[in-house]
Structure 1
Amino acid sequence: MEGEMCNFSKVCITALMSLCYCYIVGRIIPKGATRFLAILPVVALFLYLPLNLSAVNLIGQTSFILSWLGNSKLLLFAFGKGPLSSDPPISLPRFLAIACLPIKIQKHSPKESPERTHNTKDHTHPPQNPENIRPESILLLNYPTKALLFVMLLRLYDYGDHFHPNLILLVYCCHLYLALDLILSSIQAAARAGFGMELEPQFRDPYLSSSLQDFWGKRWNLMVTNILRLTVYEPIHRAALAAVGRKWAAAPAVMAAFLVSGLMHELMFFHLGRVKPTWEVMSFFMLHGACLVIEVVVKRKCGAKWQLPRALTGLATVTFVMVTGSWLFFPQLLRDGVVKKAVEEYEAVGALIKDVCRAVVSQIQ
């Protein structure tokens, strides 16, 4: 444990020093190809850094934050775009926080942005007026509840031999969501406390999704959604407008975004398991991309006249995500022993916290 924390500290220090270099580059080199070439070694370094760790939870977070989000932000920064670029330039501490943390600054409140209000009014917290509370609001989970569910799922793994394998795979789906939500929310809270930033949520209750478009675009891991929109979707969409016209331009842009997402997940899985890719995860994202395109086309053809009840579409969406995840997303993690290692690490941290609490209580008594 001590050796791994030492390695993690070295990775963090290396990343921070590299980002300081990128900040200086941004101040002295104008945006464009020259800045891109100057930043490119840092991009390569961020792809390598997770390989210096052995704890799968630290590997996963480092791979996600540096190799994917960090590199995406730096590539956008090279061309004067994305959250790291502003006029006037942001301060170094703010640059480091935005670059190395999975956070998105909320630039406008819902009252200031009609578009944002329209997009989020059905997916955030319940309205203040009790008379207008929607039935779905009773299903919203707060973070203490999510933490309790997460701990209960960890204990459930001890009895995994008594459950059907498909049921355990579904448990992994819930485990992944709860782990990501709790970890990213903790990082957000630290960033908000340390820098006073108004931050947008990473998840908006994905279990309440009414469609794949709703799930991937408005509810699941919104930091990734925003990055993919800036780096992949919008450039491909602009190029496709001239080639296939406005009606079909979204289709290649959506498929390209899911393609890049699949590739980055394959990279993360390589960091975690250090084994040759099987491309199952890529298949998962390409399948969802194709189904999302079909869903959009069907909605366009049928219109609101043939709209199904939300309860039915919501159940179908969540079931589809969990079943395809159990089929294509999790098997590689199980074969490589990643899930087992992750659970063991959670249990080790829990045991350490218990020992510390007992020691504190004994000292007080």
Structure 2
Amino acid sequence: MSDLNAVARVWISAIAALIYVYTVVSRLPKNLPRLIATLPIVYLFLLLPWQISSVHFRGGTAFCLAWMSNFKLLLLCFDSGPLPLHRHSLRRFLALAALPVDAKQSDPRQVHPHPENDRRPLLSRTLPRFALACALIVPSLKACASDFAQRHRAAVLPVLYTLVLFCNLEVLLVASAVPARLLLALELQPQVDQPYRATSLADFWGRRWNLAVPTILRPAVYCPARWAWSRLVGSSTARLAAMLTAFLVSGLMHELMLYYLTLEPPTWEWAAFFVLQGFLASGELYFKSVVGFPELPRLVSLLMTMAVLYVTAAWLFYPPLIRASFDVIFATDLRSAMDGLPTSLLQVLS
């Protein structure tokens, strides 16, 4: 219960800070005046997650505030990003600033590009995935603690960690999207689009997996970096350099998220993982657009993409989590969070 009180205090403080941004900062002249007034809020949002001891709540709050909200606020300083479009509605401004969601744009160029994109109503589309993710978290953690998994940690734990992280991300994204959709009547951009159907790394990271991240990195990092690089090199090279820059920033922010989760000093393996993904994704684009490498059959591209993701993740992404015994931390924290549930339900979950 004390941790829930801490969560409530943190989010009340965050909402109060965002009201200040809405009423004061957004009305200042853009660029430097707004930036000076926003930097204390950025610093506050970096500190607030540390008030929460629960790994679940601290990690989710850090993702929402220290990463997503801070990038949106910095974009607002330059009249960019999603917030300037909703500066006349406090409810929409708060929801879009505090949660990892984005309103669907009316510009047809911004519509999600995959024709197979699911257009069912939000509740019918997300609640089944939410229920499945919740149902899989506990069995996945129990599997991590099994003798077989502990005897073959290097081979088995990456698979189980993939399932645990995917389920946890699904819970966070649905918990953010449903309130925003129901309360604000906003049509939201999809947050995940069948990542298992990705046929390239650029497709996976840019158009299918955890789309809150590329949606905010595109205007905050990729576009400014591409403009800056284009003044030094050709447009094709600038595109690749901007992609690498975006992956670098993503890697640094993931490293920060890992610190919030494990409380361990950074080893920079996550940063290296995302920089490597940037090199591989830009290499794909180079060979396809410049060299003219022929298109592979869809199934072959899909299997190669999944294989590269798994091998590189097993090499760089999962070792910090395995060394920190993240499954034990996660399971202990989950059990503590369920202390307030009825005993009969706890027996079923355990």
TM more than 0.5: yes
Per-residue displacement from partner, 1:167-197 (whole Å, max 9, x unpaired)? 1212211221222123201220121111111
Which residue number in structure 2 is paired with residue 331 of structure 1? 319
Tell me, in whole angstroms, the C-alpha distance in 2 between the residues paired with 1:308 and 1:325: 23
- Select the structure of larger CA radius of gyration: 1
CA RMSD of aligned residues (A): 2.4
**Residues 75-94 of structure 1: matches in 2 within 5 Å?**
75-86=74-85, 89-94=87-92
Number of paired residues? 338
Matches of 1:229 and 1:172, distance apart in 2: 28
Instruction: Name whichever of 243-252 and 149-158 sits farther off.
Output: 149-158
Match of 2:144 among 143, 150, 157: 157
On the 8 A contact 1:160/1:168 being kept in 2, the answer is no
Any conservation in 1 of the 2:105–2:111 contact (CA below 8 Å)? no
Offset, 1:237: 0.5
Any idea what the Cα deviations from partners look like across 1:212-271, whole Å, max 9, x if unmatched?
Answer: 011011101111101100110000111122211112111110111011111111111122
* Counterpart secondary structure, 1:247: helix
Residue 225 of structure 2 aligns with an amino acid whose one-letter code is I
The change in CA–CA distance for 1:25 and 1:227 in structure 2 (over 3 A counts) is same
Classify the secondary structure of the residue corresponding to 1:330. Answer: helix
Letter in 2 for 1:156: A
Matched, 1:113 2:113: no
**Counterpart Cα distance in 1 of 2:129 and 2:56:** 23
Question: What secondary structure, in the 3-state scheme, does the structure 2 residue paired with 1:200 have?
Answer: coil
1:158 Cα deviation from its structure 2 partner: 3.7
Moved more, 142-151 or 21-30: 142-151
Distance 2:41 2:298 in 1: 46
Residue 319 of structure 1: aligned partner: 307
The TM-score with structure 2 as length reference comes to 0.89
Displacement after TM superposition at 1:350 (Å): 5.1
For the pair 1:192 / 2:181, whether they are aligned, the reply is: yes
**After alignment, is 156-165 or 89-98 more displaced?**
156-165
Alignment correspondent of 1:134: none
Structure 1: runs of 5+ lacking an equivalent: 128-140, 359-365
Distance apart, 1:273 and its partner CA = 2.3
User: Does the CA-based 8 Å contact 2:141-2:327 persist in structure 1?
Assistant: no
> Which residue of the partner structure matches residue 133 of structure 1?
none
Structure 1 residues 160 and 205, CA gap change in structure 2 (3 angstroms)? farther
Q: Evaluate the alpha carbon distance shift between residue 276 and residue 147 of structure 1 in structure 2; reply closer, same or farther with a 3 A threshold.
A: closer
Tell me the SS of whatever aligns to 1:278: coil
Alignment partner, residue 157 of structure 2: 168
Q: 1:355 aligns with which of 325, 328, 343?
A: 343
**Aligned-partner SS, 1:248:** helix
Identity of aligned residues (%): 35
Amino acid at match of 1:224: V
- Residue of structure 2 equivalent to 1:294: 283
Tell me whether 1:303 sits opposite 2:301 in the alignment.
no
> Taking structure 1 as reference, are residues 8 and 149 closer, same or farther at Cα in structure 2, changes over 3 Å only?
closer
Q: TM-score, normalised by structure 1?
A: 0.86
Q: Which runs of 5+ in 2 are unaligned?
A: 121-127
Change (3 A) 1:31 1:318: same
Matched, 1:217 2:206: yes
Match of 1:22 in 2: 21
The offset of 1:160, in angstroms, is 4.8
Q: Determine the structure 2 residue equivalent to 1:47.
A: 46
Match of 1:242 among 231, 236, 240: 231
